[in-house]
């Protein structure tokens, strides 16, 4: 029995089109650019042409062969093969599938860009029929060890039920945090209770992490049975920062840094204390703890300063000098304001689409200046 898997038709067309584009650019540069710029620019089209050749050869040669004898993978870089008796198993990753040898003396087979292979699901099923799924084995071993932890309960049934409950909590938390990020990003809400919610939500993730009986992790591998709150916490912190920056404009950051460092250090110390309570603190979790602390310190400071500032603003008039729209993953609308009050320079401000459409060139807008709860002066615009 022998089955061969090659690059799917869709990806052959896609990569073939990419190779044609690279060849076209290389010819263009050869004909128009190299003579004027000298040898330095000559390297650029040569690299593009070489890359196009590599893509075309790889489309022709690339294949995975699974047989009773073993597994072989051929690409532009050559062929790697492992016989069946020398294969320990396989791992399916986000970017590649790896066939691991049973002994150290053999090289592993790494199949990159695995999703581009035609009938990749059939290939996975064939590998699963003949070889061990190392991700599943590792998952089962970790779960078995986890279910022996008596902190989760006295019986195996109690521990399994507790693990299922904690996993449900983290899934709900992460889903809400993920959705909240996109709601803030695209809808740009402005509700009086929103600052409170955005400040509290990341702390819920930190509390779940701290009181999760050592089971809930900040981050865990894809094939890990340990539930994690990292994704929900990170996305909710990004939402906190984004919400603090899109609606309100800080005029002077002089008084910003002290509360930023205080809040950030408090969150970092709290997270590090929770991480080091565990048997093996991981560097990755410490790095993400630092990122969460910095994000929460930044967004939290701005939300407290602006979101809870209920004082009446000083209102100034400013003229819209120019405006433009920037396009990327999201569409942003910008207007350039004239000098106003004691602010003696022009400034570009990001606004909502509706504000942009109702603030034509040379029109006047209201600049509402406020002192800030933390004495960080800020302002917002109204028509």
Q: Among all chains, which residue has been given the structure tokens 């999703």?
A: 115
Share of the chain above pLDDT 70, in %: 95
* pLDDT score at 41: 61
* pLDDT score at 64: 93
Query: Which of 49-58, 210-219, 305-314 is predicted least confidently?
Result: 210-219
- On whether the CB atoms of residues 80 and 63 are closer than 8 A, the answer is no
Tokens of 166: 């904690």
> What residues are paired with 277 via a beta bridge?
none
DSSP state of 312: P
Query: Which of 51-60, 150-159, 306-315, 319-328 is predicted least confidently?
Result: 150-159
Helix (H, G, I), strand (E, B) or coil at 186: helix
Question: What does pTM read for this prediction?
Answer: 0.73
The arithmetic mean of pLDDT across residues 76-99, rounded, is 89
* pLDDT score at 18: 92
* pLDDT score at 192: 75
Phi and psi at 322, nearest 5°, equal -145, 165
- Which tops the pLDDT comparison, 253 or 94? 253
- Reported as a pLDDT band with limits 50, 70 and 90, residue 7 is very high
* pLDDT score at 88: 92
Model confidence over 111-148: pLDDT tens digits?
Answer: 988 889 988 889 999 999 989 999 898 888 888 887 88
Distance of alpha carbon 146 from alpha carbon 159, whole angstroms: 9
Strand order through the sheet with 249-250:
249-250, 378-382, 364-370, 314-327, 331-337, 347-351
Q: Is the confidence at residue 38, as pLDDT, over 70?
A: no
Model confidence over 344-379: pLDDT tens digits?
Answer: 888 888 888 888 888 889 899 999 999 999 999 999
* pLDDT score at 235: 92
Q: Is the confidence at residue 327, as pLDDT, over 90?
A: no
- Reported as a pLDDT band with limits 50, 70 and 90, residue 158 is confident
The arithmetic mean of pLDDT across residues 26-50, rounded, is 70
Among residues 347, 343, 351, 338, which one has the least CA distance to residue 382?
351
The arithmetic mean of pLDDT across residues 61-70, rounded, is 91
Average pLDDT, the chain: 86
């Amino acid at each position: 029995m022998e089955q061969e898997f090659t690059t799917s038709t869709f990806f052959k067309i896609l990569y073939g089109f990419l190779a044609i584009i690279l060849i076209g650019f290389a010819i263009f540069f050869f004909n128009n650019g190299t003579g004027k710029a000298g040898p330095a620019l000559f390297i650029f089209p040569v690299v593009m042409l070489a890359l196009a050749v590599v893509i075309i050869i790889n489309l022709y040669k690339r294949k995975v062969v699974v047989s009773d004898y073993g597994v072989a993978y051929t690409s532009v870089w050559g062929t790697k093969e492992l016989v069946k008796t020398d294969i320990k198993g396989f791992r399916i990753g986000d970017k590649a599938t790896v066939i691991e040898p049973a002994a150290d003396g053999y090289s592993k087979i790494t199949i990159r860009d695995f999703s581009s292979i035609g009938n990749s699901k059939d290939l996975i099923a064939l590998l699963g029929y003949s070889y061990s799924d190392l991700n599943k084995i590792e998952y089962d071993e970790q779960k078995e060890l986890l279910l022996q932890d008596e902190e989760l309960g006295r019986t195996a049934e109690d521990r399994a039920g507790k693990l299922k409950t904690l996993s449900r909590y983290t899934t709900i938390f992460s889903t809400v945090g993920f959705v909240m990020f996109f709601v803030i990003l695209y809808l740009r809400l402005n509700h009086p209770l929103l600052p409170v919610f955005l400040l509290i939500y990341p702390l819920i993730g930190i509390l779940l992490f701290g009181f999760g009986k050592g089971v809930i992790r900040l981050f865990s591998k894809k094939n890990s049975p340990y539930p994690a709150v990292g994704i929900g916490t990170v996305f909710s912190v990004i939402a906190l920062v984004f919400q603090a920056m899109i609606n309100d404009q800080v005029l002077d950051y002089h008084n910003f840094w002290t509360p930023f460092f205080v809040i950030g250090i408090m969150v970092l110390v709290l997270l590090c204390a929770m991480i080091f309570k565990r048997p093996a603190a991981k560097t990755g979790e410490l790095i993400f703890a630092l990122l969460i602390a910095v994000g929460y310190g930044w967004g939290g400071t701005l939300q407290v300063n602006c979101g809870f500032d209920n004082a009446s603003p000083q209102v100034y008039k400013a003229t819209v000098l120019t405006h433009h729209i920037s396009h990327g993953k999201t569409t942003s609308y910008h207007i350039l304001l004239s000098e106003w009050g004691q602010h003696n320079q022009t400034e570009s401000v990001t606004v909502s689409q509706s504000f942009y459409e109702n603030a034509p060139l040379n029109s006047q807008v209201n600049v509402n200046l406020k002192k800030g709860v933390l004495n960080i002066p800020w302002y917002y615009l109204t028509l």
